[in-house]
Structure 1
Amino acid sequence: MSATAEARNETHHDPDVAAEAGRRRTFAVISHPDAGKSTLTEALALHASAISSAGAVHGKGGRSGVTSDWMDMERSRGISITSAALRVDYDGCVLNLLDTPGHADFSEDTYRVLSAVDCAIMLLDSAKGLESQTLKLFDVCRSRGVPVITFVNKWDRPGREPLELMDEIEQRLGLHPTPMNWPVGIAGDFRGLLNRESGNYTRMQRSSGGAERAVEETMDAQRAAELEQEAWTQAQEEMELLSGLDADFDEESFLAGVSSPVLFGAALPNFGISQLLDVLVRLAPAPRGHRDTTGTERPVSAPFSGQVFKMQANMDRAHRDRTAFLRISSGRFERGMVLTHATTGRPFATKYTQAVFGNERNTIETAYPGDVITLVNAQALSVGDTLYEGPKVEFPPIPSFAPEHFAVVRAVDSSRYKQFQRGIAQLDSEGVVQVLTSDVRGSQAPVLAAVGPLQFDVVKHRMENEFRATVELSHLDYTLARRTDETWAPTLHALSGAEVMQRRSDSELLMLVHNKWRLRVIEREYPDAVLEPLLAGGADASEG
């Protein structure tokens, strides 16, 4: 071990690291599809001066410039398929924004991202309010203890009453809303925002196509009343109602996940984005200590440790690389450090380490708790792996979701079988799908298990374009999976409407079942059988 490394390990509390960690805000944006998540991500980067103009434009098909959407399928379909990391500086803080797939079929990738953040922005469509995917992702935030800031988007379009939306948040989520600002003008006639704390009014003007920051003018209440008249009066009356409902911000209840600060705005024309950033910097928690597999909390000032939450191959088409996204949990990272891989005990060199901004990557020399770094050529790493310096530490694995869609995959061209094998192994290690194998089906026809069918489209696209191995899929009539063991596997595999397969990534045995009714019959006939549910991820995961 080098003298520098020894010096770092002599102390478990580095005040410089703690101070740098205190400047970090690591957060994700979660929402239902079409709520404007990628547009909000773009607007946040624009207002933090990380980009000169927003790439989001009207129309899904034309959103080719969105910074966080870099895969070909994302650009052509206008949806976010893979998570992305954006790092920007704002008001003395370092913001690590982890964009996530909005579509429900990719919710497992979103779950992995939520394991790497300290806060989440829950994005709501002003017309639709809480939708199914938002509810599921909020449940994940609650289960992981991630506090939530709510942003009501699209206030420049016709929508619902703000008080009605506040009531829905309270009733459906059990989350007490505490508005930090309030819209002046009904949805569709957005005039500006009333700051609840200062009482001032920020009037907004639309920028050209929403490509630049909206022009904002701040004024006192008297001037606002003269300009906005009835709209201002209505906003003031609604503010009085809020005061009577105990809707003032409380830090303790926010961090405990009991309440949520609420802000209004419109991401496409860049209204209310700077207010959201200010609240994020002021209220979102800085990185805190993480508990390891023994239940011991490792403080941010301890020697270096971090966990891989995402794998991605071929971000750099020229080099066909394999990249690991790692969230730093403790200590100072310095490029060139030799870390230890907790799973294997082997050394891992960090010569090629980068910070990511969408599809752009730059070499990074130093990073701190809360930062996300990418480790290039990380063939030895997988999702959930821990890297550390000094005394051993290992963080709990990131659970897999319960798959609900299954398909046998085969290579169309047998001469491309090696490419087929390499591609399937790669996609399995990235978590694009879960790959299941059995002696009965053989290695030439593995079964792909997915939360949603769009994951199969990603597999076909990437196999053809990245590995030059065209594949065909044959869908299976299974809808549920349960974890079992070697003792019960032969008995369960012999049953009608069921099949036992081994998950390639961790060698766990899964029993696939046609439907929840067949599962209930099996459970009645074999009450002692090991049939453990996996982490709920899809619409029917809670059934049975």
Structure 2
Amino acid sequence: MTLQEEISRRRTFAVIAHPDAGKTTLTEKLLLFGGAIHVAGAVKSNKIKKGATSDFMEIERQRGISVATSVMGFEYRGRKINILDTPGHEDFAEDTYRTLTAVDSVIIVIDGAKGVESQTRKLMEVCRMRNTPVIVYINKLDRPCKDPFDLLDEVEKELKIRVRPLSFPISSGTTLKGVYNIYEEQLSLFTSDERQTADASTVEIRDLKSPLLAEHIGERYAAQLRDDLELVQGVYDPFDRDAYLRGESAPVFFGSAVNNFGVRELLECFIRIAPAPRTATAESRTVEPDEPKMSGFVFKIHANMDPNHRDRIAFLKICSGTFERNRNYLHVRSGKQLKFSSPTAFMAEKKSVIDYAYPGDIVGLHDTGNFAIGDTFTEGEKLKFTGIPSFSPEQFRYIENADPLKFKQLAKGIDQLMDEGVAQLFTSNLNGRKIIGTVGALQFEVIQYRLEHEYGAACRWEPISIHKACWIRSDNAEQLADFKRRKHTNMAVDKHGRDVFLADTSYALALAQENFKDIRFYFTSEF
């Protein structure tokens, strides 16, 4: 296949949602319909010890939430599909924001009973900033849900995007009869109780006036469906793929991922309308996927994917050209030429060595501690891709060693976990103590758990009062030196040795910004 053919058959997307909307369950069912797995693991069921395919860290299985983005690739109807399942919990939002830099489109999952929730709004803002095409999947129809039209209005109003339903539910909760696929004019009936495999009966009904409809779902529901679909055609604009690709309009599907309702419809439509790999923005220019030379960037690092081997994997998104095993590539930040003998493709924690990868693919590179999030690899050109920031943390604690005999393990654990970008490490200029900053409180629990279980190190947390951390820079060396001298007790350096001002109150921060006009204060690390 030519490079152009490989690009056009790829679909790389993220599944995003508020916690508990059913994101990981939907990911699992997409894999099931794609034939990548044959039995779905019940995500939170303790009876089935398998757990969700995409939640492979021990702590994720215990809590029933995703705390790290996982990558899964599979082939479906001649397409190569790469799914990135992201954490929904807001404490892990930073991982999700960075993941959105590596995808070409997004599926947003919404709970049909709860509607649009706070985290969904924030994630939509990130998609809007990047003009990422969005498909909405309204989930949990097996439970009593809000009226479908109310939900569609809520999505339009809250997410500030035009919607167009491409499937429509026939009731919800205990009276749920199925889903009508407007896109393909098919009725999907789900009489089967078989939830673990991809069996579902569909009836093709081109003419809604056909008596077949009432035979399958009853006269009352048939009349209701006819009325609803008439309203859909009258109220919503016809589906416009170009508007979807520009991020201006969102197709909407209804279903119940846990019962396999409406998942096949979503997948079939997705592979037809979703974009192939798109252009990537670097500081110096725009990179087209069909350029012959390879380029890509690291958007995530994961330590201990296999705790037995203590391995670190850097996730590389290929932006252009063909990535080849055992070929030299320039690691732009260090200026070194590196080659990779065992680049891997993913199926959650299962990995297989690959010889080639193409734009849109996510490749795992074994990392001995040389890589950082945002690193670029090319065939020689000095590119730096933009839009992969670290955000200023909002919660801070001192980290202390709880076991003096395990000092080395703790240092190594902190070092590797910080490289993942789950949290940020600051070293105080005043006393040399280590301070961990995170976006949310749950991160501290995850760090403590992973230090103990993956590195055999024990830590304890001590409180510290910090309102905000911001990176500082100035062209006025004298003023910068004066600022650092006066604010010595509030100064620290981050993992890369950059100056950070730890303001203890919002007033102190405002005052510093007012008094030191030549100093620039940054609240994301990308500057």
TM-score by length of 2: 0.93
Considering only aligned residues, what root-mean-square deviation do their CA atoms show, in Å? 2.2
The percentage of counterpart residues that share the same residue type is: 38
How many residues are aligned here? 517
Distance 1:359 1:242, change over 3 A: same
Q: CA deviation at 1:232?
A: 2.2
Aligned partner of 1:333 among 323, 333, 346:
323
Contact kept in structure 2, 1:157 and 1:189, CA below 8 Å? no
Question: Is 2:215 the counterpart of 1:226?
Answer: yes
Question: Is 2:487 the counterpart of 1:499?
Answer: no
- Give the Cα–Cα distance (whole angstroms) in 2 for the partners of residues 214 and 20 of structure 1: 30
Question: Is 2:118 the counterpart of 1:132?
Answer: yes
For 1:50-449, list aligned pairs within 5 A: 50-57=36-43, 59=45, 64-208=50-194, 210-220=195-205, 221=208, 222=210, 223-228=212-217, 229-396=219-386, 398-442=388-432, 445-449=433-437
| Structure 2 partner of 1:541 | none
Contact kept in structure 2, 1:50 and 1:88, CA below 8 Å? yes
| Structure 2 partner of 1:469 | 457
Contact kept in structure 2, 1:489 and 1:509, CA below 8 Å? no
Q: CA deviation at 1:492?
A: 6.7
For 1:498-517, list aligned pairs within 5 A: 499-505=490-496, 507-517=497-507
Distance 1:107 1:429, change over 3 A: same
**Residue 217 of structure 1 aligns to which amino acid in structure 2?**
T
**Residue 453 of structure 2 aligns to which amino acid in structure 1?**
N
Q: CA deviation at 1:339?
A: 1.0
Which range is displaced more, 243-252 or 351-360? Answer: 243-252
Contact kept in structure 2, 1:64 and 1:78, CA below 8 Å? no
**Residue 483 of structure 2 aligns to which amino acid in structure 1?**
T
Deviations 1:389-424 (A, max 9, x none): 244433226111121000111112223222222111
Which range is displaced more, 128-137 or 406-415? Answer: 406-415
Deviations 1:192-246 (A, max 9, x none): 12122343322122333x2112422213132113332222221221222222223
Indicate the SS of the match to 1:102: coil
Distance 1:432 1:57, change over 3 A: closer
- Give the Cα–Cα distance (whole angstroms) in 1 for the partners of residues 11 and 199 of structure 2: 24
Question: Is 2:450 the counterpart of 1:450?
Answer: no
Which range is displaced more, 44-53 or 431-440? Answer: 431-440
| Structure 2 partner of 1:41 | 27
- Give the Cα–Cα distance (whole angstroms) in 2 for the partners of residues 423 and 493 of structure 1: 32
Which range is displaced more, 230-239 or 85-94? Answer: 230-239
- Give the Cα–Cα distance (whole angstroms) in 1 for the partners of residues 68 and 159 of structure 2: 27
Contact kept in structure 2, 1:289 and 1:300, CA below 8 Å? no
**Residue 450 of structure 1 aligns to which amino acid in structure 2?**
T
Deviations 1:17-51 (A, max 9, x none): 11101100000000000101111111110010111
- Give unpaired runs (5+ residues) of structure 2: none
Distance 1:260 1:417, change over 3 A: same
- Give unpaired runs (5+ residues) of structure 1: 1-14, 537-544
**Residue 234 of structure 1 aligns to which amino acid in structure 2?**
Q
Contact kept in structure 1, 2:471 and 2:525, CA below 8 Å? no
| Structure 2 partner of 1:11 | none
Which range is displaced more, 389-398 or 101-110? Answer: 389-398
Q: CA deviation at 1:535?
A: 7.8
Q: CA deviation at 1:152?
A: 0.3
Contact kept in structure 2, 1:69 and 1:75, CA below 8 Å? yes
Question: Is 2:471 the counterpart of 1:483?
Answer: yes
Which range is displaced more, 172-181 or 299-308? Answer: 299-308
Distance 1:490 1:69, change over 3 A: farther
Indicate the SS of the match to 2:258: coil
Q: CA deviation at 1:118?
A: 0.2
- Give the Cα–Cα distance (whole angstroms) in 1 for the partners of residues 4 and 166 of structure 2: 29
Q: CA deviation at 1:263?
A: 0.3
Indicate the SS of the match to 2:26: helix
